[in-house]
Amino acid sequence: MGAHPHVGAGVLRNEDPQLLTGRAIFVDDVHLAGTLHAAFLRSDFAHGRLLSVDTSAAKRREGVIAVYTAEDLGDYWCHGPLLVPPPPIAGLTFNTATLVPLARDRVVHVGEPIAVVVAESRYIAEDALEDIVVDIEPLPVVVGLEEALAPDSPVIHEALGTNVAAHVVQQKGDYEAARGDAHTVVSRKFSYDRGVAGAIENRGILADWNARNEELTVWDTTQAPIPIRNGLAERLGLLQSQVRVVAPFLGGGFGPKMMMFYPEELLIPWISMRLERPVKWIEDRAESFFATTNERLQLHEAELAVDSEGRILGVKDVFLHDSGAYDPYGITVPINTQCTLLGPYRVPNYYSEFTAVFTNKTIVTPVRGAGRQHGVFVMERLLDFAAKELGIDRVEIRKRNFLTPDEFPHDHEILFQDSAPLVYDSGDYLPAMEKAAEMIGYRKFLDEEQPKARAEGRRLGLGIVSYVEGTGIGPYEGARVSVEPSGKVQLATGVGTQGQGHFTTFAQIVADQLGVDVTDVHVVTGDTREFSWGTGTFASRGIVVAGSACHEAAIVVRKRILSVASEALEAAEDDLELADGVVRVKGSDLSISLGELAVRANPLRGAVAAGAEPGLEATSYFGPARGTTASGVHAMIVEIDPETLEVSIQRYVVVHDCGRLVNPVIVDGQIHGGVAHGIGNAFFEELVYDDQGQLLNASFMDYLLPTATDVPHMEVAHVETPSPLNPLGVKGVGEAGAIPVGALYAQALEDALQGAVEIREIPLSPGRLFDLVQDAEADS
Amino acid sequence: MDRYTTATLRVNGQDLQVVFPTHHTLLEVLREECGLTGTKHGCELGECGTCTVLVDGEPVLSCLALTAEMEGRSIETVEGLQDGNELHPLQAAFADLGAAQCGYCTPGMLMTATALLAENDDPSADEIRTALAGNLCRCTGYHKIIEAVEWAAGVVRGDAGAGPAREVLFGSSVPGEGS
């Protein structure tokens, strides 16, 4: 064992004994006596004037305790916060339209809540929804992005006078001049659509106002319990110390469970305070399609200017982005698109312009990848088309344009979602590409396997694409490490956890510093009573920001341990070592356990030196100046059935770089899940809206998540370029797998179809492929 | 108001006398009346497989099963899988391979896999995929779940040679050995 026996090892997960035996507590597993149950009446119309809501019959139903509409909320009714203000980009337009707790005079998307019923059971509450009479005067509906911007389009937010949510131009160099020098310019239009997060656990909230203690406890399926605690305290006129938000085990997050201040999140605690009873709301699956945020369409018009060797001279991209009915999360998703498009490539001139558009659909906020998919798709497709036009191999054109290790840190001269300059901290792209090409057998496939298969009438295709991912952004996270008299270590941090393995990876980091077993580090996350400062789990930042805070706190505690032990053992600190839960004088059997040291550090008698703190405990914070850049290459081989255009994945290879791996088993699992989400996005999942803004497939029977028979075995390898921006050298990995899969499918399917079609859209399906092939045949 | 039914349910080998609203599903009664919240729900429409339990050894979606019809039948949930402190081979394999992430679909996966192994103790990867096709997971991409079921099958068979490849146990990058 080296200096870091735990970090880097695929140790067993601390959380598994609870999760695998059914003991782990999720929000809906918390049962409090006397709990009331809430159900929401939601708009059936995508756009309309709310003329009246009559709740009298619902209130008369036996078992109904209360019914609230916007009018009943009094001062509590107001627009929610703008969660992420846009970065300070010159010339930026941003029009704010944040959520309201219940619709008051207008509904702007199907599923927007209008009233809430609170009853003795969920059954009664749902039945009572049928008793409510709502009068909505339908208004013309805004569905399409281009239509939304037409001069005669209906306007969703009248006060704004426009459906433009944001307009942003970011550029570097002079694209038009570069275009003038180009040997070849490739121009295309692209459409890239995405779908739901699809966490298997729906959202849920249980609020319990204790009127005697004047304390509010809220169990919430949130990725960001501390911001929710802070916001609830502010809105409810309570001290933060009176509000405890607990995000226990969560059944997946993937973005939409962030600090959204959803209507339900604001209302259930308020109702609990009014009724002085615990109140629970658990979202159902249909609601999750309408009322939980998702991600959707962008339309791009893009071009790539290259020299005769395929070297990139510049990229221009102008796109529309669907914001949905409100934009509480600012421009995070489209700005991620803008910044991720550049990929691992040297792009000397870049012009990127986007318009985010309000539509009468569910709100768009980040979902695993958060707009990065769209950008990667555009860039990778443009490179594929340029390679074809110039007769250059697709791997070769990428290699020619990769940034090289001596070019880091690399400043792209535009701003990222965190308002910091988009600067890649580190990376090494060529070895990842070579490794992926080798693993998938690139040359052999093209030279032997594919021609042989074609001769047999089989259609095999290969795809290979690259991407980078900005991860681990600020502002900060914190951690508190305490050694207890039992010798066990308590580690508390503020981020929520939704399956990333934080109970293990954070423990590994601390265990290395303190010389204890990983299982002796007890991790608490997502409980504001245990840790009060921080933001949350999003943007692939948990291990980078919270993990680094754990590391820093553990170093301080280690120093304190050595100081107390030095006195106890009458030995110099340099002569001491920490291992196996004891401090030992090197080369002797003189030792003292951490538990005994914890007692000594917190004496019941005697004096503590002035300025000294009791206990073996420290709290540290880590705030990176900017995010760290992960990257990867995915490759796959597909076979297409020539009759049905059904696609089967024969091999799937990932070479990924997330810097130093804290737990390779957990990292691989994160990548596997991301890829599966990406496969869903590319080939199975699509939110189908009609021209009235009605979602036509709001169930898992109609909206297809990939199943165990759809996701292939994956071969994963790593290159490790440690990040210089944090003490562990780590980069985020939670979203990575999902990002390049659309681009990968497009290239592989085109290859399999022998150039019969050009793919400029995602998602695909056998039906859509059939249409594309038919259209191409009709054209030729 | 609700009509109630009294019934004796045999859950994880124990007879439990429960009183429940007659229209309540097995999922609801397990979670609310029996206090067995290990069984989760993801849709309550029979679409996601999360609530799978075994009834007389067969996987059943507890969100679609009426409790009133369960008297006299043997119900098994995730809470009954382990033997004392000893994890069931499937649970152990899930832990060893990192096959659970958020852990929410995991109980349903474990129960479906239990039924599979009872029927076929040497399933191929494709047979495992087919058996689990009704259990949705959004975290894992099913990769490690399938490996875990394969491994657990070997343990159940008593096949001493059964075991996953090294990279399955330790991840694809072994520290200190380069990449």
Rounded CA separation A585/A656 (Å): 42
> Averaged over A110-121, what is the pLDDT?
98
Nearest CA in chain A to B77: A22
CB-nearest to A252 from B81, B104, B125 is: B104
Indicate if A533 and A571 belong to the same structural domain: yes
Same domain, A512 and A584: yes
Is B22 touching A (CB cutoff 8 A)? no
Query: Phi, psi at residue B4, to the nearest 5°?
Result: -110, 150
Q: Percentage of residues in chain A with pLDDT exceeding 70?
A: 99
Provide the chain B residues 65-84 that lie in CB contact (below 8 A) with chain A. 77-79, 81-82
Q: Do B50 and A200 touch (CB under 8 A)?
A: yes
Closest to A325 in 3D by CA, of A101, A109, A111, A136 = A109
Q: Are residues A634 and A779 in the same domain?
A: yes
Under 8 Å between Cβ of A736 and A670: yes
Task: Say whether residue A368 is in contact with chain B using an 8 A CB cutoff.
Answer: no
> How many other CB atoms are found less than 10 A from the CB of residue B6?
10
How far apart (Å, rounded) are the C-alpha atoms in residues A549 and A567? Answer: 28
Among A368, A384, A408, which Cα is nearest to A757's?
A: A384
Do the chains contact at A673 and B139, CB–CB below 8 Å? Answer: yes
Task: Report the pLDDT value the prediction gives residue B72, as an integer from 0 to 100.
Answer: 92
Residues in chain B within 8 Å Cβ distance of A673: 101, 138-141
Minimal C-alpha gap between B152 and chain A (Å): 14
pLDDT 10s digits, A213-261: 999 999 999 999 999 999 999 999 999 999 999 999 999 999 999 989 9
Asked if the structure places residue A603 within a domain, the reply is: yes
Residue B50 forms contact with A (CB below 8 Å): yes
Residue A642 CB neighbours (<10 A): 13
Strand partners, A220: A205
d(CA A49, CA A104): 9
Nearest to A361 by CA among A64, A46, A626: A46
| Residue in A closest to B175 by C-alpha | A8
pLDDT at A326: 98
Q: Residue A40 pLDDT > 80, yes or no?
A: yes
Residues in chain A with CB shorter than 8 Å from the CB of B29 are none
Q: Domain tally for chain A?
A: 2
Per the listing, tokens 């160099």 go with A173
Mean pLDDT of B136-147: 98
Q: How far, in Å, CA of B73 to CA of B85, rounded?
A: 26
Size of interface A-B (CB pairs under 8 A): 222
A737-748 pLDDT, tens digit per residue, is 999 999 999 999
| pLDDT one-digit tens code per residue, B35-81 | 999 999 999 999 999 999 999 999 999 999 999 999 999 999 999 99
What CATH code is carried by the domain that includes residue A633?
3.30.365.10
For chain A, positions 30-89, list CB contacts with chain B under 8 A: 31, 62-63
- In a domain, residue A586? The reply is yes
pLDDT at residue B178 in the model: 39
Residues B37, A29: C-beta atoms closer than 8 Å: yes
Residue A703 lies in a domain: yes
Strands (E), A397-545: 410-415, 421-424, 459-471, 477-483, 489-493, 521-525
Residue A756 has pLDDT above 90, yes or no: no
φ/ψ of A634, rounded to 5, equals: -115, 145
- For residues A771 and A719, what is the distance between their CA atoms, to the nearest angstrom? 40
Hey, what are A118's tokens? Answer: 């609170």
Q: Is A498 on the interface with B (CB under 8 A)?
A: yes
Coil, helix or strand at residue A455: helix
Span A438-449, average pLDDT: 98
The answer, yes or no, to whether residue A66 has pLDDT greater than 60, is yes
Least confident window among A234-243, A315-324, B155-164: B155-164
Is A485 found in the same domain as A523?
Answer: yes
Given a cut of 60, whether residue B176 has pLDDT beyond it is no
- pLDDT band per the 50, 70, 90 thresholds, residue B90: very high
Report the residue of chain A nearest B24, measured CA to CA.
A123
Q: What is the mean pLDDT of residues A68-93?
A: 96
Question: Which tokens belong to A352?
Answer: 């990127």
Eight-class DSSP state of A738: G
Give the E-state strand segments of chain B in sequence order.
4-11, 14-21, 52-55, 58-61, 74-76
Whether residue A128 is contained in a domain is answered as no
Strand partners of residue A629: A470
Determine the distance in angstroms separating the CA of A625 from the nearest CA of chain B, rounded to an integer: 29
Average pLDDT in chain A: 96
- Cα distances (Å, whole numbers) of residue B115 to B57, B121, B126: 6, 10, 16
Chain B residues close to A439, C-beta within 8 Å = none
* Residue A561 to residue A549: CA distance in whole angstroms: 18
Quote the DSSP letter at residue A60: H
> Are A748 and A774 in a shared domain?
yes
Instruction: Please report residues of A whose CB lies closer than 8 A to that of B100.
Output: 13, 16, 19-20, 499
Look up residue A158 and give its two tokens: 């009248």
Give the C-alpha separation, A433 to A157, whole Å: 47
The reply to whether A588 and A455 lie within a common domain is no
Interchain CB contact of A650 with B (< 8 Å): no
Domain boundary among A622, A644, A667: A622
Nearest to A146 by CA among A330, A319, A265: A319
DSSP A194: -
Provide the pLDDT for residue A600. 94
A685 with A760, same domain: the answer is yes
Residues A426 and A439 in one domain: yes
Which chain B residues are Cβ-neighbours of A256 within 8 angstroms?
none
A669 and B40 in contact by Cβ < 8 A?
A: no
Backbone angles phi, psi at B145, to 5 degrees: -65, -45
What pLDDT does A607 receive?
Answer: 75
Q: In the structure, how many helices (H) and strands (E) does chain A have?
A: 20, 30
Which chain B residue's Cα is nearest to A701? B47
Q: Torsion over CA of B58, B61, B63 and B68, rounded to 10 degrees?
A: -20
DSSP type of residue B33: I
B98 touches chain A (CB under 8 A): yes
- Residue ranges and CATH numbers for the domains of chain B are 4-80 (3.10.20.30), 89-167 (1.10.150.120)
* Residue range A694-701: mean pLDDT, rounded: 97
A22: which chain B residues are within 8 Å (Cβ-Cβ)? 36-39, 77-79, 107
For the segment A757-775, the average pLDDT, to the nearest whole number, is: 96
Q: Kindly report the CA angle at A345 between A740 and A422, in degrees rounded to 5?
A: 90
ω before B175 within 30° of 0 (cis)? no
- Name which of B2, B91, B142 is nearest A20 (Cβ-Cβ): B91
Helix axes A263-275, A225-236, angle to 10 degrees: 50
Same domain, A415 and A465: yes
| CB-based contact, A716 to chain B, within 8 Å | yes
> For B15-26, what is the mean pLDDT?
97
> Which residue is it, tokens 């497709």?
A381
Task: Please list, in sequence order, all residues whose beta carbon lies within 8 angstroms of the beta carbon of residue A234, skipping any fewer than 6 positions away.
Answer: none
Q: Give the 3-state secondary structure of A661-681.
A: CCCHHHHHHHHHHHHHHHHHH
Write down which residue in A556, A588, A622 finishes a domain. Answer: A622
Q: Which residues of B touch A674 (CB under 8 A)?
A: 141
Tens of pLDDT, residues A568-620? 999 999 999 999 999 999 999 999 999 999 999 998 888 777 778 899 999 99
Q: What is the pLDDT of residue A735?
A: 94
Q: Which of A15, A20, A702 to mutate to test the interface with B (most CBs of B within 10 A)?
A: A20
Q: How many CB atoms lie within 10 A of CB B17?
A: 9
Which domain, by its residues, includes A544?
16-23+474-622
Strand, helix or coil for residue A437: helix
Percent of chain B with pLDDT over 70: 88
Lowest average pLDDT, out of A1-15, A521-535, A689-703, goes to A1-15
Evaluate whether residue A143 is within a structural domain: no
pLDDT digits (tens, 9 = 90+) for A128-170: 999 999 999 999 999 999 999 999 999 999 999 999 999 999 9
Where helices occur in A276-371 by DSSP H, the ranges are: 285-291, 332-340
The confidence band for B164, taking pLDDT boundaries of 50, 70 and 90, is low
Q: Which residues pair with A94 in a beta bridge?
A: A166
Is A614 touching B (CB cutoff 8 A)? no
Question: A265 near A23, Cβ under 8 Å?
Answer: no
Same domain, residue pair A685 and A748: yes
Asked if the structure places residue A767 within a domain, the reply is yes
Mark yes or no for CB contact B98/A13 under 8 Å.
yes
Q: Is residue A780 part of a domain?
A: yes
Cβ pair A499:B103 closer than 8 A = yes
A200 neighbourhood in chain B, CB within 8 Å = 40, 42, 48, 50, 102, 104-105, 136-138
Q: Per residue in A169-195, pLDDT tens?
A: 999 999 999 999 999 999 999 999 999
Q: Is the domain of A618 the same as that of A634?
A: no
User: Would an 8 Å CB–CB cutoff place A550 in contact with chain B?
Assistant: no
**Can you give the three-state secondary structure of B121-153, one letter per residue?**
CCCCHHHHHHHCCCCCCCCCCCHHHHHHHHHHH
Which residues numbered 557-576 in A keep a CB inside 8 Å of some CB on B?
none
Residue with tokens 């130093």: A660
* Residue keyed to tokens 């949510």: A165
Q: CB of A150 within 8 A of CB of A344? A: no
B:150-169 residues touching chain A, CB 8 A cutoff: 169
Q: Estimate the crossing angle of helix B89-97 against helix B143-157, to 10 degrees.
A: 140
Are A672 and A734 part of one and the same domain?
yes
**pLDDT digits 0-9 by tens, A358-392:** 999 999 999 999 999 999 999 999 999 999 999 99
Domain-embedded: residue A670: yes
* Residue from the list A123, A202, A711 with its beta carbon closest to the beta carbon of B141: A711
A19 touches chain B (CB under 8 A): yes
Q: In whole angstroms, how far apart are CA A637 and each of A271, A659, B1, B133, B149?
A: 54, 27, 59, 22, 26
Q: Examine the fold and report which residue of A601, A622, A643 is the final residue of a domain before the chain moves on.
A: A622
